[in-house]
A = this chain, B = another copy of it.
């Protein structure tokens, strides 16, 4: 059985940080000892997240090395371009790092600079980072000391396309991912477009010209295809809090039993659920849980495969996936702290 791990969470005031806390308080091998916040240092964590009153008794601390000195594992739930400044010293000090932000996801530092608008400060560590999608990299994650957790869109899109690309069934040059997200993926950003009065009872696309998750998805799908892929990725904002629904389109270059393909591909995966033929997943079916539920269709028996893939963006798309990686890293059961089903309705 895994030893008790002392945990630090950097960037604890955001939604992913809160979700990490929610999950880790139920984890038998984890003890959260430090939660950092630059702005709220000194105030109780439960003031920021009243649902944790009586459950989490920590105060926020400043994000200083001293405050994390005592940790075995540090989770970063920070905006991009924060973790890369602190990770080198933490690794140096022998800690393992699970980064939920974008800093170590792209292998090409210049591509990172282009999409994130600033130079990477420790490009030499990028190679050391393991992309934290257990369904792709289970073994490498187990041995990693730096895990780069995928973005929320990439998780839903990659898991949806993977069986088709692995099997070489679709035209890899004309993939389409029409993705829809709840607003919590944007965190607590104070932007007018995220005000209730500005997005309730409405629907829109955004980022059509280019979204930061596009190069990440292309990188991983390219790995699977062993070649560059052509992907059109259009994200949309749904008036809901949690959930991603990716509707994926691929042109089939041959006939195949897609249902069996998907079921076989994900047999034994604890957090990928292939729905029965004909089903359509709903984001509420994964709300609060770490599951990715996937259905595959071929409308009218034609040559277009349609894959529907749903996750909770804050769980399988962020904190839950990070905990899943953590479980692999400490050799705990992969579903520790992740077994409870979400609440519905």
A residues neighboring B (CB under 8 Å): 15, 18-19, 22, 25-26, 49-55, 174, 176, 178, 180, 182-184, 186, 188, 190-192, 194-206, 208-210, 230, 232-234, 236, 238-243, 245, 247, 249, 251, 273, 275, 278, 280-289, 291, 293, 297, 299-300, 302, 304, 306, 308, 314, 339-345
Query: Does B208 contact A297, Cβ atoms closer than 8 Å?
Result: yes
- The answer to whether B341 and A205 touch across the interface, beta carbons within 8 angstroms, is no
A107 and B285 CA atoms in complex are apart in Å by: 40
Q: Which residues of B contact A243 (CB under 8 A)?
A: 201-203
Given contacts A299-B208, A345-B242, contact A288 B291 (CB under 8 A): no
Give, as a whole number of angstroms, the nearest-CB distance from A157 to chain B: 14
5 closest cross-chain pairs (CB), A and B: A202-B284, A204-B282, A178-B178, A50-B285, A197-B345
Within the complex, what minimum Cβ distance (angstroms) separates A225 from chain B?
Answer: 17
- Complex Cα distance, B52 from A342, in Å, reads 8
Cross-interface CB contact of A205 among B22, B51, B241, B280, cutoff 8 Å? B280
Q: Of B201, B204, B341, which one neighbours A200 at CB under 8 angstroms?
A: B201
From residue A177, how far is it (CB to closest CB) to chain B in Å?
A: 10
Q: What distance in Å separates the Cβ of A298 from its nearest Cβ neighbour in chain B?
A: 9
- A240 near B203 with CB under 8 A, answer yes
Task: Select one of B184, B232, B282, B339 contacting A299, CB under 8 A.
Answer: B232
- Chain B residues near A234 (CB-CB < 8 A): 247, 299, 306
Residues of B within 8 A of A345 (CB): 15, 184, 197-198, 200, 241-242
Number of chain copies forming the complex: 4
Residues of B within 8 A of A302 (CB): 230, 232
B304:A342 contact, CB within 8 angstroms: no
A123 vs chain B, min Cβ distance (A): 25
Instruction: Return the chain B residue nearest A22 by Cβ.
Output: B341
A247 to B204, Cβ gap below 8 A? Answer: no
A195 touches B195 (CB 8 A): yes
Q: Chain B contacts of A300 at CB under 8 A?
A: 209-210
Interface hub of A242, A297, A344 (most chain B Cβ within 10 A) = A344
CB distance from A334 to the nearest CB of B (A): 13
* Contact indicator B202/A287 (Cβ below 8 Å): yes
Q: Are B51 and A289 in contact (CB under 8 A)?
A: yes
Answer whether A232 and B208 are a contact pair too, CB < 8 Å, given A197-B188, A202-B240. no
A79 to chain B, nearest CB (A): 16
8 example contacts (A-B, Cβ-Cβ < 8 A) are as follows A186-B197, A188-B197, A200-B240, A208-B280, A209-B300, A210-B299, A242-B343, A340-B340
In the complex the two chains form, what is the Cα distance from A245 to B210 in whole Å? 19
Q: Which of B178, B204, B208, B241 contacts A196 (CB 8 A)?
A: B241
Docked CA distance A217–B81 (Å): 47
Q: In the complex, which residues of chain B have a beta carbon less than 8 angstroms from the beta carbon of A49?
A: 344
A174: chain B residues at CB < 8 Å are 174, 251, 304
Closest to A25 in B: B341
Cα distance, A49 to B345, chains bound together (Å): 9
Q: Shortest beta-carbon distance, A278 to chain B, in Å?
A: 7
Contact with A240, one of B198, B239, B342 (Cβ below 8 angstroms): B239
Residues in chain B near residue A54, CB distance under 8 A: 273, 291
- Known interface pairs A240-B239, A344-B18; A205-B308 also in contact (CB < 8 Å): yes
